[in-house]
Amino acid sequence: MSNRSFSSSKKAQFLSKLPTSSVESSEIAKRCKFNFSYFVEDQLAGQSFADWNNGQGPSSLYGLLDKVRQFSREPLDYWNNEKVGKQNILEIYGAFPKTSKTEFSHPPSVPHDVQWARFRLAAKVRLIGFVLPKESHNMDNCNAKKVDYLLDCNTFYVVFLDKDHKFYKTEKP
């Protein structure tokens, strides 16, 4: 057998491909998450994934996934403070809008005490969903309710795709 050692360039190349962080030292905990388990596509004002299937604009699946990828790099609080023009990228409304302000209805599957919110994807294009109230993250709340998992207040639960800004109407018809 030959007693050859790696050349320094091969060694450096090999070492450069190894992970340099662990779960604890990475930024994984601060990055927001997206959950689509409450997604609803049967309301007339919203759209299905199939409706967003074509093209490369903001109301395409490509555009949506690209934005979700970008948004996932920072916590929700970051996006709630970032602006495009005068509007926050993430706006947390709180309660579901009054019927005079929306063309959507509150799905029965979505808990009544969540904080409704939206991500602004482009001019009129919105990703509608909810976040959990900050007090949900309290470990005592989880233990009192015998929850097996911590509730994550850094998750955006997607409920509707809204390419025409019909969730929280601000313009006069």
At 115 the pLDDT is 96
DSSP annotation string for 62-82? HHHHHHHHHHTTS-HHHHHH-
Q: Residue 91: beta bridge partners? A: 118
| Residue 53 DSSP label | -
Judge contact between 72 and 31, C-beta under 8 A: yes
Cα 115 to Cα 4: distance, rounded to the nearest angstrom: 63
At 138 the pLDDT is 59
Cα 141 to Cα 169: distance, rounded to the nearest angstrom: 35
At 6 the pLDDT is 53
CB count within 10 Å of CB 61 equals: 16
At 171 the pLDDT is 59
Per-residue model confidence as pLDDT tens digits over 46-87: 999 999 887 777 788 999 999 999 999 999 999 999 998 888
| Residue 96 DSSP label | P
Segments in the chain below pLDDT 70:
1-7, 18, 23, 25, 137-149, 171-173
At 92 the pLDDT is 96
At 151 the pLDDT is 77
